[in-house]
Amino acid sequence: MERFLALIQRHPWWAWTGLIAYAAAVTFPHEQVQAVVGSFATLITHRRLYQLSAALAVLLGILLTCVLLRRIAHRADRRTLLGFWVLSLVLVVGAWRLLTANNTELVHYPQYVPEGMALIALTLSPAESLAWVAIFGGLDETYQYAYLTGGRPVPLDFNDIYMDLLGGAIGILLGIAFLPAKGMQASWKRILRRPGVVAFLGILATGVLLWAVGLMRLHDDKANPHYWFSLSHSDPSMPWLFHRIWGPHMFHELLPVEGPLWILATIAIYVVLDRRLSIVPERGST
pTM: 0.94
Question: Which residues, 6 or more positions from 152, have their beta carbon under 8 angstroms from its beta carbon?
Answer: 233
**What is the DSSP code string of 183-234?**
E----HHHHHTSHHHHHHHHHHHHHHHHHHTTSEESS--TT---SSEESB-S
138 lies in a domain? Answer: yes
- Domain presence at residue 123: yes
- Region 37-63: mean pLDDT is 93
pLDDT bin (cut points 50, 70, 90) of residue 245 is confident
Q: What is the pLDDT of residues 97-153, one digit of tens each?
A: 999 999 999 999 999 999 999 999 999 999 999 999 999 999 999 999 998 887 788
Residue 159 forms part of a structural domain: yes
Band of residue 45 on the pLDDT scale cut at 50, 70, 90:
very high
- The mean pLDDT value for 32-43 works out to 88
What's the domain range around 69?
Answer: 2-193+232-279
Write down the pLDDT at residue 72.
93
* 24 within a domain of the structure (yes/no): yes
261 within domain boundaries: yes
Residue 168 covered by a domain? yes
pLDDT at 284: 53
CA distance 27 to 234: 23
- Is residue 200 in a domain? no
Average pLDDT on 225-251 reads 87
More confident residue, 280 or 120: 120
Does position 269 have pLDDT exceeding 80, yes or no? yes
Rounded-to-integer distance, Cα 52 and Cα 100, Å: 16
Find the range with the poorest average confidence among 98-107, 203-212, 218-227. 218-227
Give the pLDDT score at 24: 94
Q: What is the pLDDT of residues 147-195, one digit of tens each?
A: 888 778 889 999 999 999 999 999 999 999 998 876 667 788 899 999 9
Can you tell me the distance from the alpha carbon of 162 to that of 138, in angstroms, rounded to the nearest whole number? 9
